[in-house]
A and B are shown apart, each in its own frame.
Chain A
Amino acid sequence: MTWVVIESQNSAPTTVGLEILTKAAEGGDVNVVYVGAGSDEEFAVLGSHGASSIIVLSPAEDVLAPTPVAEALSQLIAEHTPGLVLFGTTYDGRDVAGRVSAKLGLSVVSNVVDFSTEGDLTVTNEIFGGSQLVNTQFTSGKTALALVRPKSFTAAETGSGAPTVSRVELPDGPNASVTARHAEASEGPKLESAAIVVAGGRGLGQAEHFGLIEELAGLLKGATGATRAIVDAGWVPYSKQVGQTGKIVKPDVYIACGISGAMQHLVGMKDSMTIIAVNKDSDAPIFSVADLGVVGDVHQVLPKLIEAIKAR
């Protein structure tokens, strides 16, 4: 049987979790390991996306969840020996998958964008910034672990059932503690799910110019995004980062402003429906994925664009 590990976020299953569950359910029964307090409403959502059974692990608020979750999950895997355990590529998902892998000596594949449980289990993962797709098989005959990238599948309510729900206690043990949690205030739609994303990079020149990005995003009712370079420089918070270490987005329209298109950024946005890029350097790699590339200065083009949209 295939297992999917899904985290609860703001009292709902993560979107990436539901995407993976929908795909996994095409191949038969799926057991969900649900990390969070868990409510009947959440279990119903998991059932409607294809979960036939749910095991709930509820970490305490003041502990860093991945260590005790990995401990309990490892025991469950050792007991039930599922063929494949899938995780969403989230911060906690990576931590749990890594720890379970090391604890049980199981191989794990990252950056998975597809999988097939029919015949020999095969996962497809991206390498080299998504330029190559690799088909990987597991050779040990033991439980296979895979970390699946967000937006690889579309979540759909194709499940029928009322899943069975059981709860497993988490073990105590040496662990890191969480002393405070901070959510960064953000206006407008969420970056991960916005239909329009306007993103800025180094080409903006200075932090204050990110205001242009915010103004354009506001007019288009979109979300703002950023490259690692300007996040690292402290211009915008980490939660805005698009790319390998940040968020994977797939909006209808992605407008890249002053972004050169480093591999690590492209993997986060190259599957957007329409990509518009504005950059001074005509050799910038961003133009290789852009539907419309404007070779020009963002400080010239964006104010005119903003005025033109306002005038409509």
Chain B
Amino acid sequence: MKIAVCVKQIPDPASDYELDPETYNIVRPEAQILDDTDRYGVEVGLQIADANEGEVFLVSMSPSGTLQGIRQALAMGADKAVMIDDETLVGSDSLTTAQALAAAITKEGYDIVIAGTESTDGYSGLVPQQVAELLGVPALTYATSVEYVDGVVRIHRQTADGYDEVEAATPVVVSVTAGVVEPRYPNFKGIMQAKSKPVDTYTAADLGVDPSVGQKIVSITPAPKRAAGTVVEDEGEAHLDIIETLEEAKVL
């Protein structure tokens, strides 16, 4: 069985994110890291593959750069990576991204596609559902647990006040929340092997994807900032400051 895991290289979230003032695209350094939330999808894919003699390939759209983030996911144990790296796709919206990912996944063949619910940098939170629609398969979304038995994927799907048990036969797309499993840390062997694992690269033309995007940013403004508050050091009596604030807010 073949499992595709959608992953993303992003600028380190510990750094300040910047937009290019002309193109309004996120400024991306050469060395991007693996989106932390993608480790959960990779782990789910590896667990299913390990139990079913399957293989896991990564699919990702971004400038390849140093491939640092992709190597992180390969070091966990994925077999290969498929990059979609094309200058014309920089600044794509979620739909164009999904079209590219779906086309690459179709080219490779798949039984299960796994993705995080949203990326940390752009967080549109739409790509897994769009990929599912483009592939014409069900989407099991917001999974807080995943199991695969005999061609059927069963998940716990997060809801506003609990969860639903949901299932569908493969082929299927699954989007997973962080916390669905405990992702493994790459070991030394994994890190060494990752350096020589195959990374294929596609362009928009290879995949027949039209890079035009149906939306454009017309202006950007900083969001209004909250007025600076008071900060006190607790020397044993700070709870009285809290009481005072609660009284001012008329909740005590």
Contact = CB atoms under 8 A, between A and B. Distances in A.
Interface of A: 9, 64, 66-67, 70, 89-91, 94-95, 97-99, 101-103, 105-111, 122, 126-128, 130-140, 142, 147, 174-184, 186, 192, 195-196, 220, 228, 231-234, 237-239, 244-245, 247, 252-253, 255, 263-264, 270, 273-276, 278, 282, 287-297, 300-302, 304-305, 308-309, 312
Contacts of A296: 233-234, 238
Interface string B117-146: 110101111111111111001111110100
Nearest to A274: B249
Contact of B130 (A66, A102, A147, A294): A102
Contacts of A103: 133
Contacts of B202: none
Contact of B223 (A70, A130, A278, A297): A130
A195 B251 contact: yes
B165 A91 contact: no
A136 B95 contact: no
A238 B245 contact: no
Contacts of B165: 178-182
A253 B246 contact: yes
A91 B163 CA distance: 11
The 9 closest A-B pairs by CB, nearest first: A296-B234, A98-B129, A232-B179, A107-B214, A102-B133, A176-B168, A293-B231, A305-B239, A291-B229
Contact of A308 (B127, B231, B236, B243): B243
Main secondary structure of the interface of A (DSSP, over half): mixed
Given A107-B93, A294-B232, A176 B138 contact: yes
B229 A110 contact: no
A310 B202 CA distance: 65
Contact residues of B: prevailing secondary structure: mixed
Contact of A245 (B117, B126, B245): B117
Contacts of A105: 95, 214
B243 A134 contact: no
B240 A139 contact: no
11 contacts: A64-B157, A66-B139, A97-B129, A179-B154, A182-B165, A192-B160, A234-B179, A238-B158, A275-B229, A287-B229, A290-B231
A189 B106 CA distance: 47
Nearest to A130: B223
B231 A287 contact: yes
Given A132-B220, A186-B161, A67 B139 contact: yes
Nearest to A71: B133
Nearest to B169: A174
A180 B81 CA distance: 36
B166 A64 contact: yes
Contact of B213 (A107, A186, A309): A107
A197 to B, nearest CB: 11
Contacts of A184: 161-163
B36 to A, nearest CB: 10
B226 A289 contact: yes
Given A238-B158, A296-B238, A139 B125 contact: no
A127 B222 CA distance: 10
B234 A122 contact: no
Contacts of B164: 64, 178, 180-182
A305 B239 CA distance: 5
Contacts of A304: 236, 239
Given A64-B166, A95-B141, A126-B223, 11 more contacts: A90-B160, A98-B128, A195-B251, A245-B117, A252-B249, A278-B234, A289-B226, A292-B231, A292-B241, A292-B245, A308-B239
Interface string B37-48: 000000000000
Contacts of A182: 162-165
Contacts of A239: 158-162
Interface string B72-97: 00000000000000000000011100
B166 A177 contact: yes
Contacts of A309: 243, 252
B26 to A, nearest CB: 9
A293 B230 contact: yes
A253 B162 contact: no
A297 B233 CA distance: 10
Contacts of A291: 226, 229-230, 245
B105 to A, nearest CB: 13
Contacts of A278: 234, 238, 242
Nearest to B144: A238
